[in-house]
């Protein structure tokens, strides 16, 4: 059963990227946001990205892609979807509540209910539904239109057919590359990436080196495209902290514990690029 009708919950940075790549692939997309203000902001973000893609010759017409996207503020608009991807705040309670609602609203018993979570175990989302065999993680990376990787994360209860349909959607429809991950906090990429970023924050916190020198060292000395602190600003320091907390809760290893500096910056609203200031000013 192929996926032709895609639903996305959340029209923020990640949600708008998932909407964009799905619509660019010719799929019918409905995206739901909590209120009109957030919906308008998401549509404006999507329009800017599509117009840039058109200017660079990546797509023929931004308007043609936008015509395949419908923006709503009521979850009931997702009733007829073949696949719904959750891309809301990285908060377990909020995601659990949403999956209960999606289970009630999405009509097709074969529909895939997917989460774009960075770290929350998929099992916790699947068991609150009546169809855990249709629930799995489909984890995209920011910026979604640019980065090719998607992590596929089935839980112990996810049906093999669900995973293969998700793989067909990711690789066949979207043209991305999928890797298979076990359902453990952080999956593959964040289990490796977050301790690396936290180590850089601890180095800065201790006065060992400046932010600029830490990042320059990894860019020039290890051929990284950007340094770990600049990457944390791009991810969002609140998201970085949330993923670290999920990893620490599951494994209780010190390398996953958020450093005090990260916690203070999040408390101060210094979240990186999206707030205009993090380890650097934007």
Q: Which DSSP helix (H) or strand (E) runs through 15?
A: helix 13-24
Tell me the longest C-alpha to C-alpha distance in the chain. Answer: 56
Are 194 and 240 in contact by the 8 Å Cβ rule? The answer is yes
Are 23 and 69 in contact by the 8 Å Cβ rule? The answer is yes
β-bridge mates for residue 258, sequence order: none
Query: What one-character DSSP code corresponds to residue 168?
Result: I
CA angle 156, 141, 230 (to 5 degrees): 130
Are 134 and 164 in contact by the 8 Å Cβ rule? The answer is no
Cβ count within 10 A of residue 282 = 11
Catalytic residues: 118, 139, 151, 190
**Starting at the edge strand that comes first in sequence, how are the strands of the sheet with 28-32 ordered?**
69-72, 28-32, 5-9, 83-86, 112-115, 135-140, 149-154, 177-180
**Among candidate residues 142, 145, 139, 171, the one with its CA nearest the CA of residue 65:** 145
Are 49 and 20 in contact by the 8 Å Cβ rule? The answer is yes
Query: What one-character DSSP code corresponds to residue 259?
Result: P
Q: Which DSSP helix (H) or strand (E) runs through 179?
A: strand 177-180
- Please state whether beta strands 5-9 and 83-86 pair in parallel, antiparallel, or not at all (unpaired): parallel
């Amino acid at each position: 059963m192929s996926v032709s009708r895609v639903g996305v919950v959340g029209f923020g940075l990640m949600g708008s990227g998932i909407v964009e790549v799905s619509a660019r692939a010719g799929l019918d997309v409905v995206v739901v946001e909590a209120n009109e203000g957030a919906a308008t902001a998401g549509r404006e973000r999507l329009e800017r990205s599509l117009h840039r893609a058109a200017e660079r010759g990546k797509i023929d017409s931004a308007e043609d892609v936008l015509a395949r996207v419908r923006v709503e503020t009521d979850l009931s608009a997702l009733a007829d979807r073949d696949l719904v991807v959750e891309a809301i705040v990285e908060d377990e309670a909020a995601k659990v509540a949403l999956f209960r609602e999606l289970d009630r609203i999405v009509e097709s018993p074969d529909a895939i209910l997917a989460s774009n979570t960075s770290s929350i175990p998929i099992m916790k989302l699947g068991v609150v539904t009546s169809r855990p065999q249709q629930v799995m993680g489909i984890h995209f990376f920011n910026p979604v239109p640019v980065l090719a990787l998607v992590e596929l994360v089935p839980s112990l209860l996810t049906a093999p057919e669900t995973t293969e349909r998700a793989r067909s959607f990711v690789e066949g429809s979207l043209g991305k590359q999928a890797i298979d991950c076990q359902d453990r906090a952080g999956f593959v990429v964040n289990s490796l990436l977050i301790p690396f970023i936290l180590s850089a924050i601890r180095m800065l916190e201790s006065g060992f080196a400046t932010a600029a020198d830490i990042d320059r060292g990894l860019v020039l000395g290890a051929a990284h495209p950007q340094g770990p602190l600049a990457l944390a600003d791009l991810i969002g320091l609140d998201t970085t902290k949330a993923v670290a907390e999920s990893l620490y809760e599951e494994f209780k290893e010190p390398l996953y514990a958020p450093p005090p500096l990260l916690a203070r910056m999040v408390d101060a609203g210094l979240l990186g690029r999206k707030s205009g200031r993090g380890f650097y000013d934007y």
